[in-house]
Each structure stands twice: as C-alpha cells, then as structure tokens.
C-alpha cells in the first residue's frame, strides 16, 4: 500500500490466468465508483468449463457467464472467492486488511461483508477469466485434507457467530444451526477423527469468545452508524 497502488489483487498460486483478466477487473472497478471488490469468473484448471465454485455460488448467472461476449460488464454479488480478488486501495484504507481471526477460509467472505457494511459494492467481472485448480496443497494427503476440513469448519463457525446484522442471541442461534448441520453430516459418514475435530473446533471457538465478541461489536457499530445515516 505504501507504493501508491490503486488496486491490490490477490491471486492463488494454483491458478492460470487468461489474456486481459487483470484489465477487465480494473475496467469494472473504474466504471463503477462504489464497486470496491471485483472477482474473476473461475474455470476448471484444464478445461473451459465453469468450475464447481462458480456453478455453486452463482447458479442464477450461469448462462450469462458461459457467454462473456454478451454478458454485462459486471454482476453485483454478495461476495467473491479469494482465489482472484481485486480490492480498491480505498477499501483497504477504510476497512483494513483481511481479518487474521480466520487463519484460512472465509476470510474473503468476511472481508466482502465488512465492505458491504461500509457501503461498498462487490461485483463479478464476466470477461475476466481464470483457471483454478481448487484445493492446491490442501489436497496433498489425508492428513493435510483433514487439517483443511478442520480449518474450513472452524472458520464457518466464526463467520456465523460474528454476523453484525444479527444480535448476539441471533448469532448464538446460528451457532447451533451450524453445529446441527455439521453433526448431521458426521452421522451420515461417522468417523471418530471427524467427531474429535468437531469437538476441538467448539473448544477453539469458545476459547476465542472474547475476540469474536470484539469483532462482532466492532462491525456492528459500523452497521448501526450506516443505519443512522440512511434514516
């Protein structure tokens, strides 16, 4: 940021880019002043097909994304994945960096949420395309995959418990919903290792309850401030 860049772009090492991928991200950002975060369309690593993240995250836009030449310049969305993540410097100056409370996974979704709370917009750039291997080094072996699942589930609990647009009681309710969902998945394919990891997550999350409360309170102040300004 001290170099005076107008944009900061995060790009995973397990990606291949296409011509004009970066120019398209910047074009979207420059054409819409309040768009502060822009993501590229993700394709399978070895083919031209949309990958599973794209088809899962944006089921209503798939036909448009398959024909970028006729697609809109940008598509408003709630969040984009950090595999390819362009951020305007002004956003970073206003809301800070990715929250280290996550360590891995959900940090970009949280960042988009915080940006939206500050009045910024998030967009997908249909003509910016990357090929994403997905998983990268997290798929190296069973031990690494288990750590990935642990980190992902832990971050999901943190994200659910720090939603600033809900009350503390509401977030506690979402904690139990998330726990019930994970428990149901565990029962479908029971493993003592997975059960142990789910228990470890609960200890980890509640031992960090002070940090989670501070994060929720900090982001909630922004929410209340914006509501006051809009009323």
pLDDT 10s digits, 69-92: 999 999 999 999 999 999 999 999
Q: What pLDDT shows up at residue 81?
A: 94
The whole model's pTM is what? 0.91
Instruction: Give the pLDDT of residue 1.
Output: 56
Nearest to 134 by CA among 44, 11, 209: 44
Q: Where are the beta strands (DSSP E) in the chain?
A: 7-11, 15-17, 35-44, 75-77, 84-88, 121-132
- By the 8 A CB rule, do 159 and 109 touch? yes
Weakly modelled stretches of the chain, pLDDT under 70: 1-2, 135-140, 230-231
Q: Long-range contacts of range 194-198, CB-CB < 8 Å, 24 or more positions apart? A: 194/149, 197/146, 197/149, 197/150, 197/153, 198/153
The Cβ-side half-sphere exposure at 71, using a 13 Å CA radius, reads 22
Q: What is the DSSP letter of 19?
A: T
The tokens of 29 are what?
Answer: 């950002």
Q: What are the residues facing 171 on neighbouring strands?
A: none
Q: Output the pLDDT for position 141.
A: 80
Contact 71, 65 (CB under 8 A): yes
Strands (DSSP E) contained in 50-95 are 75-77, 84-88
Q: Quick one: pLDDT at residue 4? A: 81
Report how far residue 131's alpha carbon sits from residue 129's, in angstroms, rounded to the nearest whole number: 7
């Amino acid at each position: 940021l001290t170099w005076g860049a107008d944009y900061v772009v995060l790009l995973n090492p397990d990606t291949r880019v296409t011509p004009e991928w970066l120019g398209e991200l910047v074009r979207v950002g420059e054409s819409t002043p309040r768009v502060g975060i822009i993501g590229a369309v993700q394709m399978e690593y070895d083919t031209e097909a949309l990958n599973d993240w794209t088809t899962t995250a944006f089921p209503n836009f798939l036909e448009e994304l398959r024909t970028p030449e006729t697609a809109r310049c940008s598509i408003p969305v709630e969040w984009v994945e950090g595999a390819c993540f362009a951020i305007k410097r002004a956003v970073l100056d206003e809301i800070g960096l990715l929250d280290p409370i996550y360590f891995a996974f959900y940090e970009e979704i949280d960042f988009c949420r915080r940006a939206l709370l500050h009045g910024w917009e998030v967009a997908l750039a249909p003509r910016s395309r990357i090929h994403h291997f997905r998983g990268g080094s997290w798929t190296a072996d069973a031990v690494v995959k288990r750590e990935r699942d642990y980190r992902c589930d832990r971050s999901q609990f943190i994200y659910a418990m720090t939603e600033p647009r809900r009350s503390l009681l509401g977030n506690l309710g979402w904690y139990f919903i998330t726990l019930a969902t994970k428990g149901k998945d565990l029962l479908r394919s029971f493993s003592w290792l997975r059960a142990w990891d789910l228990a470890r997550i609960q200890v980890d999350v509640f031992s960090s309850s002070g940090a989670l409360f501070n994060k929720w309170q900090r982001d909630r102040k922004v929410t209340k401030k914006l509501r006051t300004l809009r009323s």
